[in-house]
Amino acid sequence: MNRSISLVSLVFLNVLLVFTACKKEVTPPQPVLPVPTDRQLAWHEMEQYAFVHFTTNTFTDKEWGFGDESESVFNPTAMDVTQWTKTFKAAGLNGLVLTCKHHDGFCLWPSQYTEHSVKNSPYKGGKGNVVDEVEKACRAEGLKFGVYLSPWDRNRADYGSPSYVEYYRNQLKELFAAHTPVFEMWFDGANGGDGYYGGANEKRKIDGKTYYDWPTTLNLIRGMEPNVIFFSDAGPDIRWCGNESGYVNETNWNTITADTLYAGKSGIQEILNTGSETGTSWIPAEVDVSIRPGWFYHAKEDSLVKTPEKLFDIYLSSVGRGANLILNIPPDRRGLINEIDVASLLEWKKLIDERFKTNLAINKTAKASAIRGDSPVYEASMVTDGNKETYWATNDQETAGNLEIDLGESKTISYVLVQEYIKLGQRVKSFSVEIEKDGAWQEVASGTTIGYKRILRINPVDAQKVRVVIKDSKACPVISNVEIY
Ligand code: FUL
């Protein structure tokens, strides 16, 4: 009896050994360089957040204050920053970047380096600190906080000379000493020329590339806030999308070669809008756009607040094309987000919630044209498992392939959302969505790049089987998620 048991175990052991030996280890795909840093990955996941433009311009009805505005004009009558942050939170925004100082030079905090600030305004009898109040309100609401500090300063007498750069750095030190964590620092590229400049009332030209000595400034801030994301026209962490109208190109590479952009190249805006397939750095695009025609509040623009449908289109042409959206919502003269803007924002959120309510693909059966090493680790169901860390991949050299998802029954579909596992780089150059109709596959939408997230809008159509076809990719496709609505 004992002998037969040990014989059986021996045979079992042998079978197991042979099986293990035959099953070769399937290695994950090699990254396609460049790849995002951890802080860039965290930024990608934020997707959308608010921009807040607020300064003397709000009270003088200007977009670019000249720099000679009296501090006394800054006088919000019913200021409530909690109303801002509660509105943004309810609208699905995940953070807020505040213009601590715009081009006019007026500081929303009582900086020790200038008299041109809230401390000489009627606001809270000169005891207010808008930056601090907004930061605290963000923390209370679970929103990340970011800082905009205009390099161009039309108030400062020494703008254009080395001492101004020192002043600018001192202010950054003040802000970062008091308000970390700061998720994003916004460096505005605008340098318009003329200004008050302490009474000189003249035009000043600086060499934007050398004057500010950016490497020193960025190192200084990085030392105080290692996780901050730097925005400027061409990085280093994220780039401008090349327009202020609310879109990144349909083809949107997260990669660009930043050095060539600083060379004053013509067509720079187009490159920023599309990125570059062969770019040597990971510098994804941020879409900055205002809910109103201007960046600051003007009562005359009350009738021009973007509609919820327009905001939804912007959402699709920014977040839906793998960029992040920074949506400007400027407080009015009371210091409140105007009722018209609030209504539009909340209705926009409702549209997003309704249109992306039920992911028809979640946990549905999926099959693929090919699976990397035939391994269950890389099989098709990894795109419908709701886990962003798992992905479908093909073998190296296979730069095309498809994923077929069976919804179980016929459903009306209007949107398909696809995500690449960008930790391994951005790969897909061209793809399409097909549905099965009367036994044949029919294309209903197509796209170029995917990146962190791509949403394709489809003319509503009924289908049970949906196929995502990767037509071309830099290397084997690595897809972490497919959602169908
Ligand atoms: C531009 C500025 O000149 C505008 O006033 C605004 O701040 C926008 C976000 O960036 O360059």
- Please state the rounded mean pLDDT for residues 31-55: 98
- Ligand 1, atom 3, lies closest to the CA of 190
Calculate the alpha carbon distances from 141 to 39, 96, 121, 128, 185 in Å: 22, 11, 28, 21, 20
For residue range 187-215, what is the model confidence (pLDDT) as tens digits?
998 887 999 999 999 999 999 889 999 99
The atom of ligand 1 lying closest to the CA of 189 is 11
The atom of ligand 1 lying closest to the CA of 63 is 5
Yes or no: say if 375 and 26 are a contact pair by the CB < 8 Å rule.
Answer: yes
pLDDT value for 364: 98
Yes or no: say if 485 and 417 are a contact pair by the CB < 8 Å rule.
Answer: yes
pLDDT of 291 > 90? The answer is: yes
d(CA 226, CA 234): 19
Yes or no: say if 162 and 211 are a contact pair by the CB < 8 Å rule.
Answer: no
Average pLDDT, the chain: 95
Ligand 1 pocket test: which of 53, 188, 272 has the largest number of ligand atoms within 8 Å of its C-beta?
Answer: 188
Calculate the alpha carbon distances from 402 to 47, 157, 191, 196, 479 in Å: 27, 62, 48, 61, 11
pLDDT value for 10: 55
pLDDT of 8 > 90? The answer is: no
Yes or no: say if 324 and 44 are a contact pair by the CB < 8 Å rule.
Answer: yes
What domains are there in the chain, each with its CATH number? Answer: 38-355 (3.20.20.80), 365-484 (2.60.120.260)
- Please state the rounded mean pLDDT for residues 125-134: 98
For residue range 218-265, what is the model confidence (pLDDT) as tens digits?
999 999 999 999 999 888 999 999 999 999 999 999 999 987 666 556
* Distance in Å, CA 463 to ligand 1 centroid: 45
- Please state the rounded mean pLDDT for residues 394-415: 98
pLDDT value for 462: 98
Residue 320: phi and psi, rounded to 5, are: -70, -5
pTM: 0.94
The atom of ligand 1 lying closest to the CA of 290 is 9
- Ligand 1, atom 11, lies closest to the CA of 190
Print burial letters for 202-239: b (CB count within 10 Å at least 16), e (below 16).
eebebebeebbebeebbeebeeebeebbbbbbbbbbbb
pLDDT of 52 > 90? The answer is: yes
Read off the pLDDT band of 6 (50, 70, 90).
low
Read off the pLDDT band of 1 (50, 70, 90).
very low
pLDDT value for 192: 79
* Distance in Å, CA 409 to ligand 1 centroid: 50
pLDDT value for 263: 55
pLDDT value for 21: 42
For residue range 454-484, what is the model confidence (pLDDT) as tens digits?
999 999 999 999 999 999 999 999 999 999 9
The atom of ligand 1 lying closest to the CA of 148 is 7
- Please state the rounded mean pLDDT for residues 299-321: 99
3-state secondary structure of 232: strand
- Please state the rounded mean pLDDT for residues 114-126: 98
Paired strand residues for 343 = none
pLDDT of 267 > 90? The answer is: no
- Ligand 1, atom 6, lies closest to the CA of 295
* Distance in Å, CA 95 to ligand 1 centroid: 19
pLDDT of 143 > 80? The answer is: yes
pLDDT of 91 > 50? The answer is: yes
d(CA 74, CA 79): 11
pLDDT value for 13: 54
Ligand 1 pocket test: which of 185, 244, 269 has the largest number of ligand atoms within 8 Å of its C-beta?
Answer: 244
With a pLDDT cut of 90, the percent of the chain lying above it is 91
pLDDT of 12 > 90? The answer is: no
Q: What is the DSSP letter of 446?
A: E
pLDDT of 117 > 80? The answer is: yes
Task: Extract the tokens encoding 460.
Answer: 């509503």
**Nearby residues of 31 by Cβ (< 8 Å), 6 or more positions away:** 423, 424, 425
For residue range 147-188, what is the model confidence (pLDDT) as tens digits?
999 999 999 999 999 999 999 999 999 999 999 999 999 999
* Distance in Å, CA 188 to ligand 1 centroid: 6
Half-sphere exposure of 41 (CA within 13 A, CB side): 14
Q: Which residues does a 6 A CB cutoff place in the pocket of ligand 1?
A: 63, 188, 190, 288, 295
